[in-house]
Structure formats: C-alpha cells, structure tokens
A and B are shown apart, each in its own frame.
Chain A
Amino acid sequence: MAENEINTLVVRKPCFGLPTGCTQCLSAYLYLKFAQLPFQLDFHLNYPDSDQIPYFEVGDYVAYNNEKGGVTECLKRDFGVVDLDIGISSLPDWISTKAMLTTWLADALAYELWVGFEGYSSSPAYTIYYSDLPWPLGKVLFWRKARWIKQKHGITNENAELKKEEIYRRASSAYGALSTWLGEQSYLFENRPSSLDATFLAHGLVVLQALPESSVLQPKLLEHGNLVRYVQQCKTELIDASPTPTYAWHTAGSSSTSSRSTSSSKTKTKTKSKPKREKTEEEKTFKRRSKYFVAAQLVAVVVFITIMTSFDDAEVGLDE
C-alpha cells in the first residue's frame, strides 16, 4: 500500500505548540529535520510506559528506540541517514556534554514532571503521556513512574528536600556550563547541527513551552539568554516552519525515494543469529512431539476407562 511506504516517525502526543510533547520523541524529530530526511508524523497515544517509542517505520522496516543506541543510530546504520556527528562524536567534550544532557538535565525534567507537581492532572506529564488513557489507567501508570523515579534517586520522606535541591542544583550547573560552551555560536559543536543539539533543543523546548510558570526548572533556563535564544531560533526554523501535526493521517507531500535509494539493498534477514535459531527450532520440535506423545497416552487411557466402564454398566444391567 502506498501509505505504508512513506517514512513515518511515530511519536507521542502533540501538545503545548510542539509536534510532540515527549523529549525523546522531539529529539528524534529534530535530528531528522537537521538531517533533512522527509518524513511524516504519526502518533501512538496509549502506551506511555513503552521504551520502544519513538519508532520509525517505512514499509515493513521498523527502527525502535530501545535498540542499538536509539532510533537515530538505527536509522544511521540501516537507512543511510546522514550521520551528523562525524568528526565530533569522539571529542572528550562531546562525551561529557552528552553525559550532562542525558543524566542531569533529563533527570531534572523527569523529576519535575512526575514528582514536582502536587496533583496528577496539574502536571504537564498528564497532558503529554496520559491524557488519552482512561483516568484509572493513567493515574496508576503515573504513580508507577513517579515511584520508579523516587527509587532511582533514592528519595525517601526524610531526604526528599535534600534530593530535590541536589537535582535542581545539578540542572543549574548544567545550564551554566552549556551556556558558557555555546557562547554566541548557532550550534554546540563546530557551528553545525548534531545529535546533541537535537537532544538539548528538545529538552529546552519542553521546559520553556510545557512547564507552567510555577515550575522550578524553567526560571533556571531563562537565566541564560543565549540558551533561550538558541531554543527560540530552533523553534522558528524547524517547528513553526512546518505545519502543525494533527491526529488525522496526512499523506506526505515529498517523495521518500531519494534517501531510500542511497541505502543498502533490502536483504531479508533473520533477526536472531543462525545457530541460536536452529537450536530453538529443534527444541520447539522436540517439545511439540513430546506434547503429542503425552496427549496420545492420556487420550488412550481415558478412552480405555470410558469404554471399560460402559462394559461394566452393560454387565450390571444384564445381571439386573
């Protein structure tokens, strides 16, 4: 079908003026925009606790986010998408910036969304992840995630305040470091877009657009004018320039064949390695045969008992 052959990035719900409210999904979206790969968006709204989302699909091919370094790494390897990190990903500053973005800043935002607000429905996490689930399901999943975050940071009733301060302090330091690093440049590394730009911009957009005024994290980001400018510029160029995605299915305007033709030819392959698969098949056959054997034995016994019982009944009948 024609629809299936279109590059589709499946993400979480669009909200707060963003194509998707989830930072991981937005990061993948921005990377593909930087890489100038034409694609359209689709939405998967009832699976907030899945680590597979965002995923990219075209035809029968899917790249999940929980495989091989993330959806963008999969696309670079399998789909021939431009690797924007060439030449910079081995730099020491790259590694430390990446660590800062994926731990301190990501943790701070997650803490704010799931633990930082009083009620379930007052948190932006409700709108982004749970608003399309019925109330009891959403509430239980939200509570489960909040408990997981508290366990991850070792937060208890006694040390809650201390932990909170520590998380936000780290976020502040991270913003300061990034602001100093960015300076007046347009991008973080060598004045060209990279995957870390996509990661930070996604974080920045959610902090600035989705968090309410009562947020603790938002003012910390607003202190750094160049970071705010950087985020706003991205929003103008990449997001406001594209039409706002809606729930309705929309057909892609541009053709998707240009990038496909550069990819390696389609080979039908197994997902598991060959020797492992053969062993599993042998085991399966053996198990199936043993099940048939046991079932046949059981049936024979039951039939025997039933027929013998009916023999006895007939004999008793004769006696009477």
Chain B
Amino acid sequence: MTNTLNHNAAQNDDVVHPEPEDDEQEDEEEEDDDDDDVLPNLRTPQSPASKLQQQRFKVETLARRLSSEMVPIRVHDVLVNGNTKTKDWVIEAELKGIETATTMQDLMRACEAAIARLQALEIFDSCKVRLEPGPKELPNTANVVVDVVEANNTVSGECGVYTKPSTSSWSLECALKYKNLLGYGDIWDTSLAYGGSQATELSLGVYAPRIKRLLTPIVARIMLVSQDWQEFSSYKEQLLGASIGLISTKHHDLVYTLGWRTLTDPSQTSSRSIRRQLGHSLLSSLKYTFKMDRRNSSIRPTRGYAFLSTTHLGGLSPDHRSLRFLRQMTSFSAVFPWGQGFMNKTSPLPERFYLGGDFSPVCTLGGPTTLWGFKTRGLGPTEPRRQSRNRADDNNSDSPGWDFIGGDLAVTAFADLSFDLPIKWLREHGIHGHVFAGSGNAAKLTQNEYKHFSPRKFLESFRTSVGCGIVIPTRLFRLEGNYFHILRKDEHDRGKTGFRFSFSAPS
C-alpha cells in the first residue's frame, strides 16, 4: 500500500550504465589472462591504432564466446572498497551469489543483482562492481572488487500520501530520515502523519537490513497515535507504544506491539457499551499476516486471485490484566467470479470490525471492510447515545444520535464486473466502466449475544448496495465516479443513494 508522491534526496541512478563498459574492461583483462596462457608475452611497443584493433578483436571474441557457450570462471576473492562507516559484513551480505558463480554469465547476473541490493539499502551514493584478474598462478579466476561511495547527505526528507485500509482513510505523512548512523545500513526516521478521523501519529523508527546472522531485517518503531472516533462512536483513542517487526518476507509478516491504550469520551455522550470500555489498557500483541497476491494488476485486476489472512493475538504478557483478544481476518478475492471475506469475533472496542468506507474493495486488500455507498463505520450494530433528562424545549425532537459499536463477526461480499468503453481514447488510458454489487453485515457476539444470534436473521439483515460507474486508473491510485443505490439498509446506517467520487490506492 505504498504509493507515494516522493521528493527524495538525490540518488545516483546511473550506476548500472557504466556497467557494460566496466564489463568490457573486465573482459579485456580476462582476455589478457586467457591470452597469456595461449600466446607468449609480446613486449614490443604497439601503436595506439593497433592497440585499439587488438582490444576490439578481444572484445568481439569474448562476446562471441559469451553468446555461444558458458565461459567458466571462478571467483577467487571479493574485496570491498570505499566504506569508512559501513561495516564490511553489511555489504558482504548483499553480495550473495557472486562467490558461487561458476560461469561468466552467472557472475555478471550476480553482480547486477548485488548492485541493485546495495542501492536498495539507500546508504550509498554509488555502487560499482569491477572484475579483476585473479592471481597468475590460478588460471580462470577473478577477483570481484566492490567500490562504494557512502552517501554524503545522511539526512533526507520525505513526504507522501498513504492509504490505511484498516480505517478506510488516507493519511499525509512527512518523515525525516537519518541514514547509516551506526554503520549497519540502519535508517532512522522520525515521522509525523495526519489522516482521516483526525488521526495523528508521531513516531520514531529504525530499519536495519540485518544484524549479524539474523536473516530478516530489523524494523522497530516507537509511536504516539491518536484517533478521533467521536463522530461515529463517541470515543477518542490514544496509543503510546512500540512495535518490532520480527519476520518480514514477501508472504509472511510478524509484528509484536506493546502499548498503552487509552479510550476517553470528552463529549460524555457515549452509549452504554462504549462507556464501559473507556479507560486504560495494556496492549501486548502479536500480529501475523500471510499474503498471497497473484492478480495481474492491483489497479484493474483481470486475472488471478489474492488471499490475505491476519491473525492478531493480544494478551501476551505475564500480567493477566492486559488486553486479551484474538482477532482473525481472512480475505480472499478472486477476480472472477466473486470475492468474499469473513472475520471472527473479538471484544475490545478498537479491535472490533467496523464496516463502511470510501475505498474500493476491488483493489484494496487490507480486508473487505468497505461497502459501496456506506460511510466510514456506517453500518453495523449500534447503540443509542446518552440521553439527557434536562428540560430544554419541547420543540426539539432530535434524537441524541447513535454510536456504531462494531461487530464481533463481519461478513462482506462483493462482485464487480468491469468492461471497456466504446471510445478508443478512453480505452487507451485504461478508463473503463463497471457495475457492482456489494453486501455485508456485522453482528455482536460477545456478552452472551451469541445466544441470540441466528444465522437466518443475520442473513436476512444483510445490507446490500448496487451501482455503476466509471473508473479512471492512474499510476498512483484508482479514481472512481460511481452511482450507488442502496437496496437494503437498517434504520441507523449511514448510507445514501446517490453519486459520489472516491479514490483508493491499490495494496
């Protein structure tokens, strides 16, 4: 979910381009080596023209050899130059595959991959890899020399707009990064984010690609987050905590969070169940996410499937008084014919499921919490807010309002049929139309409500909406102009039939 409008500090992108020349240089030296085995040393002085001709001949010979056969080579030594602050093993860890290369082609591929990995560390201004001939007594060997130039500007700033599927909102984030403070390739950042529901987050984080033998990168963050749900659920949430990323790979992600969470209600209008949850709690939880995305595109998927499963277990502390819950969210979407997600129950207020929001479920894989036509936290179990007994005026017939208290079980399903438009210009730019239908419901199960739960009633009270619209996919996000028609909603749901623009980013 990281589509950004980036203003990065200057990064040297042209490291890869000198590579072919470097390769040629290496090849010539290699050829020298090879040729030395074949021809006696001719130490006669040569004119520049004939030298050039000889070099060209060598390069052409090598190019022919490389294209027609596997040229055997063995890496004798890997040397690193230019790092004054960065530890050697940090760079050496990114050079995997080079030492074990057995052919020239493999070696060149491994070198390209190593350069890409080193650049991805974001701590170097330039990275170059040279091949030099190995010792004379060992034929067909090469030394790999890595020349790095550490970044001069260790401080950089970044600004971006991100999506947050969990709260169905956008956030503007500004970060200040300090690179390579300890020489481990570590990146320290301080960031301030402001988003929907007046969510503000101030955090200090560190990212280190590796610490000695640990295989996964270290990601740690201290944060102060505050969110205002006063309008929907009459409470404000504050979290002061720290999180550590324990495992982070393409498919698996494991994060531990320890935090002090406080729920308050300054307006003093909350409903009963929310009132009882106000106060302090200790959050000590592990969150495991398994993600598999085989869709051919996240902006406009036309083929494939995606699966996301998140398990969030709270209460991992020796103190039995910390917040205990288990939250399981499973989301499966297939582009054809339909997508479905289901979630299980939990009881702490912020961990419940709130349906509604502006994001399109088509491209957002953060859990199917959005339902077309309904506002953020716009449907689900509700409770009446506090009523005052004060004598004000008789004319007033406004109700005090309703709090959305979230559900312990939520199910949503959606189907979206997209089609190209007849106008060629629109087709070329990927602008297409779609018709869609969505359905969802959330139910409360805790506090003995599961006794009153009946699947038939649950199914009968599903909210449904249909609609059609135009989708304008851009590189960064997906803009939609849709007309929704709500087929079924409950009395207190916040959903309206009508026309609306929305934009969502793929994740």
Contact = CB atoms under 8 A, between A and B. Distances in A.
A303 B385 CA distance: 42
B279 interface: yes
Contact of A135 (B319, B399, B501): B319
B241 to A, nearest CB: 11
Give the secondary structure class of B's interface. loop
B276 A44 contact: yes
B469 to A, nearest CB: 15
B400 A60 contact: yes
B396 A274 contact: yes
Contact of B317 (A45, A47, A134): A134
B393 A52 contact: no
Identify which of A10, A59, A269 gathers the most chain B CB atoms within 10 Å of its CB.
Answer: A269
Interface in B351-403: 384-394, 396-400
Interface in B205-252: none
Contacts of B399: 268
Interface in A275-319: 296, 299, 302-303, 306-307, 310
Given A47-B278, A306-B475, A78 B429 contact: no
B397 A62 contact: no
Interface stretch (B95-103, B267-275, B438-446, B483-491): B267-275
B474 A132 contact: no
A242 interface: no
Interface stretch (A108-116, A159-167, A259-267): A259-267
B392 A306 contact: no
Given A267-B392, A267-B394, A134 B476 contact: no
Contacts of A45: 279
B400 A302 contact: no
Contact of A264 (B319, B389, B476, B503): B389
A134 B389 contact: no
A61 B268 contact: no
A57 B272 contact: yes
Given A47-B279, A134-B282, A271 B388 contact: yes
A267 B389 CA distance: 7
B280 A46 contact: yes
A141 B391 CA distance: 38
A133 B400 contact: no
Contacts of A78: 388-390
Contacts of B321: 132-134
Report which residue of B282, B385, B389, B398 has the largest number of chain A beta carbons within 10 angstroms of its beta carbon: B389
Given A60-B385, A268-B398, A136 B282 contact: yes
B476 A302 contact: yes
Interface string A46-57: 111010100101
A152 interface: no
A99 interface: no
Nearest to B263: A47
A4 B386 CA distance: 12
Nearest to A63: B389
B386 to A, nearest CB: 5
Q: How large is the interface on B (under 10, 10 to 19, 20 to 34, 35 or more residues)?
A: 35 or more
A274 B397 contact: no
A125 B397 CA distance: 45
A52 to B, nearest CB: 7
B317 to A, nearest CB: 7
A137 B260 contact: yes
Given A60-B385, A307-B429, A269 B396 contact: yes
Given A47-B280, A137-B260, A268 B387 contact: yes
A62 B386 contact: yes
Interface string A206-219: 00000000000000
A67 B276 CA distance: 18
Contacts of B387: 59-61, 266, 268-269
A64 B279 contact: no
B257 interface: no
B344 interface: no
B6 to A, nearest CB: 14
B148 interface: no
Interface size class of A (residues with CB under 8 A): 35 or more
Contacts of B260: 136-137, 140
A269 B392 contact: yes
B383 to A, nearest CB: 9
A310 B429 contact: yes
Contacts of B276: 10, 44
Contacts of A67: 268
A263 B389 contact: yes
Interface string B456-485: 000000000000000010111101000000
A79 interface: yes
A137 B501 CA distance: 44
Among B317, B388, B475, residue most surrounded by chain A Cβ atoms (within 10 Å): B388
Nearest to A74: B389
Interface in B258-294: 260, 268-269, 271-272, 275-276, 278-282
B322 interface: yes
B389 A79 contact: yes
Contact of B391 (A47, A135, A269): A269
Contact of A303 (B275, B389, B472): B472
Contact of B503 (A136, A274, A299): A299
A60 B472 contact: no
Contact of A268 (B282, B397, B479): B397
Nearest to B261: A137
A267 B391 contact: yes
Given A47-B279, A133-B280, A61 B389 contact: yes
A273 B388 CA distance: 12
B280 A137 contact: yes
A126 to B, nearest CB: 13
A107 B276 CA distance: 29
A271 B269 contact: yes
Nearest to A269: B392
A69 to B, nearest CB: 13
A207 to B, nearest CB: 27
Contacts of B398: 268, 270
B386 A60 contact: yes
A135 B279 CA distance: 15
A274 B397 CA distance: 12
A176 B479 CA distance: 77
B429 A268 contact: no
Given A46-B281, A133-B280, A137-B260, A61 B397 contact: no
B421 to A, nearest CB: 15
Contacts of A50: 278-279
Given A133-B280, A303-B479, 20 more contacts: A48-B280, A52-B268, A52-B278, A60-B387, A61-B386, A62-B386, A67-B268, A78-B390, A134-B321, A134-B322, A136-B282, A137-B260, A267-B391, A267-B392, A269-B392, A270-B392, A274-B393, A296-B501, A306-B474, A307-B474
8 contacts: A10-B276, A62-B275, A137-B281, A263-B389, A266-B389, A269-B393, A271-B269, A307-B474
Nearest first, the 4 closest Cβ-Cβ pairs linking A and B are A47-B279, A78-B389, A46-B279, A134-B282
Interface of A: 4, 10, 44-48, 50, 52, 55, 57, 59-62, 64, 67, 78-79, 132-137, 140-141, 263-264, 266-271, 273-274, 296, 299, 302-303, 306-307, 310
